[in-house]
Amino acid sequence: MAIWVVADKCTGCGLCAKACPYGAMLVEDKLARLGPRCTQCGACLGACKFEALLSDLTQEPAPDLAGYQGVWVFCEVQQGALARVSLELLGRGAVLAEQLGQTLAAVLLGHQVENLVPELAAQGAGRVYLAQDPGLADYSTLAYTRVLAELVSSHKPSVLLVGATPLGRDLAPRLSRRLDLGLTADCTELAIDPQDGSLLQTRPAFGGNVMATIVTPRARPQMATVRPGVMPLGPRREGAACEVLRQVVALEPGDLLPRLLASQARGQKPADLTAARVIVAGGRGCGGPRGFELLARLAQALGGEVGGTRVAVEEGWLPAPRQIGQTGVSVRPELYIACGISGAIQHRAGCLGARYIVAINRDRRAPIFSVADYALAGDLFKVVPALLAALPGGA
Ligand SMILES: Cc1cc2nc3c(=O)[nH]c(=O)nc-3n(C[C@H](O)[C@H](O)[C@H](O)COP(=O)(O)OP(=O)(O)OC[C@H]3O[C@@H](n4cnc5c(N)ncnc54)[C@H](O)[C@@H]3O)c2cc1C
């Protein structure tokens, strides 16, 4: 995008400079000028009341997006079952669809997966786009991209949500490129703008220091990925019915060139913190493996899992799949006990979905206390043994 100032319309009012997040818009001698720090982000464009800022996009006629209707969730199948993140997205998608007054649809690709349709209906899907073919039995980037691109091109949804799993992170960018769309990855919040019905896609930016809300005003569908555990499950509608639209699959030989010859599970199945009801998490304050042994005892007494901060993972006290936060997993247990964790924004991003947060920290000003339901100010090596002593089977 290119932005320029129309000199004879500019009054030098400075509204554009106020709107610029980079301090790149300069006003000199009552005339706005784009400084060297300008990233062409376009934040200034809407701020000008005098039509003195133009871009090549504002010059182009607005595309007609009225024909795009419906909220779609790409539903991933993992070992014959629906991925939990797909169910979470159906829960959020149902809210978005209701606000838009549109249908929530699930998109299901695979081979002999029709048995999953009732579950999609129970999770809120009013319609299922079903594409079945032996060539779709195992995930393949080219085959899945072709089928999904054809579905999107012929049915024109307004919103398309994909789980940010390894599969989703491969498929969504490929699809967005194929269809020449934008893609907002790793969203932590999705909402509908009450003014114009566009999808507000919020995600951490600049290393997690700000939350950016992204809109896609000139393209449809609005595509976003969301990590597992970020959105809550919606209410189940037991026995609900839904419309099933079958897609004729016509794969090209080239789509099937990459073939899955064999797959092998790697060692022990990694812990799934996203499904845990209780998590005892530790940070630098645990001081080392001895502190985490204590946390493991508390987790065991409560029937929960152990997680922790990036520091704990980097120190080698905890395996990487147990890292909670912006670059780890997002969790929403009933109970989250944070031990020796300061509560940096990148960590909080992964645990704020917990129903109750209990924080144990010896620093009364630790930021984790500002989000905790119960704050235990003290040394975790005294507080955790006291909790264990009070729990049946914990001593
Ligand atoms: C781009 C980016 C992504 C990131 N992603 C993540 C992420 O996904 N997850 C994540 O966790 N971090 C992430 N971080 C790192 C994050 O910014 C913090 O550095 C990290 O969360 C701090 O970990 P901590 O709380 O264990 O350590 P500290 O911040 O050092 O806090 C230790 C706390 O322990 C307390 N303490 C010490 N001893 C005791 C004791 N005996 N008893 C009780 N309390 C005690 C201290 O008072 C202190 O509050 C990321 C950072 C960046 C820049």
CATH number reported for the structural domain that contains residue 43 in this entry: 3.30.70.20
User: Mean pLDDT across the stretch 356-372?
Assistant: 97
User: Mean pLDDT across the stretch 84-108?
Assistant: 97
Does residue 256 lie in a domain region?
no
Considering only CA atoms, which of 263, 224, 225 is closest in space to residue 139? 263
pLDDT of residue 269: 66
189 and 279 within one domain: no
Considering only CA atoms, which of 284, 278, 309, 314 is closest in space to residue 380? 284
pLDDT of residue 261: 87
User: How far apart, in whole angstroms, are the C-alpha atoms of residue 271 and residue 299?
Assistant: 13
Considering only CA atoms, which of 345, 346, 372 is closest in space to residue 360? 372
- How many angstroms separate the alpha carbon of residue 342 from the centre of ligand 1? 5
pLDDT tens-digit series, residues 44-59: 988 999 999 998 877 7
310 and 213 within one domain: no
Does residue 65 lie in a domain region?
no
Tell me the percentage of the chain whose pLDDT exceeds 70: 97
283 and 145 within one domain: no
- In the predicted model, is pLDDT for residue 361 greater than 80? yes
User: Mean pLDDT across the stretch 226-240?
Assistant: 91
- How many angstroms separate the alpha carbon of residue 375 from the centre of ligand 1? 17
- How many angstroms separate the alpha carbon of residue 189 from the centre of ligand 1? 23
> Of all protein residues, whose CA lies closest to atom 7 belonging to ligand 1?
325
Identity of the amino acid at 54? L
- How many angstroms separate the alpha carbon of residue 184 from the centre of ligand 1? 27
Does residue 266 lie in a domain region?
no
- How many angstroms separate the alpha carbon of residue 52 from the centre of ligand 1? 47
For the chain, where are the alpha helices, taking DSSP H only?
15-19, 56-59, 84-100, 117-122, 141-155, 166-178, 289-301, 310-314, 345-351, 380-390
225 and 312 within one domain: no
- In the predicted model, is pLDDT for residue 218 greater than 80? yes
Give me 227's structure tokens: 């990590």
Identity of the amino acid at 2? A
Instruction: Report the atom number in ligand 1 closest to the C-alpha of 309.
Output: 11
Does residue 165 lie in a domain region?
yes
- How many angstroms separate the alpha carbon of residue 165 from the centre of ligand 1? 25
pLDDT of residue 202: 94
Average pLDDT score over the chain = 93
The maximal CA–CA distance of the chain, rounded, in angstroms, is: 79
> Of all protein residues, whose CA lies closest to atom 53 belonging to ligand 1?
207
- How many angstroms separate the alpha carbon of residue 340 from the centre of ligand 1? 8
Domain count, the chain: 3
239 and 177 within one domain: yes
CATH value at residue 310? 3.40.50.1220
**How far are the Cα atoms of 18, 47, 49 from residue 14, in angstroms, in the given order?**
6, 9, 11
Instruction: Report the atom number in ligand 1 closest to the C-alpha of 284.
Output: 26
DSSP secondary structure string for all residues of 183-245: -EEEESEEEE-TTT--EEEEEEETTTTEEEEE--TT-SSEEEEE-TTSSPP----TT---EEE
How many other C-beta atoms are found inside a 10 Å radius of the C-beta of residue 56? 10
**How far are the Cα atoms of 81, 238, 244, 350 from residue 241, in angstroms, in the given order?**
19, 9, 9, 34
Q: Which of 209, 210, 346, 368 to mutate to test the pocket of ligand 1 (most atoms within 8 A of CB)?
A: 346
> Of all protein residues, whose CA lies closest to atom 47 belonging to ligand 1?
363
Does residue 10 lie in a domain region?
yes
Residues with CB under 6 A from ligand 1: 207-208, 283-285, 309-312, 323-328, 340-342, 344, 346-347, 350, 360-363, 366, 379-381
pLDDT of residue 63: 83
**How far are the Cα atoms of 176, 270, 280 from residue 219, in angstroms, in the given order?**
11, 38, 43
Give the domain range for residue 371: 273-390
204 and 84 within one domain: yes
106 and 180 within one domain: yes
114 and 27 within one domain: no
**In which band, very low, low, confident or very high, does the pLDDT at 276 lie, cut at 50, 70 and 90?**
very high
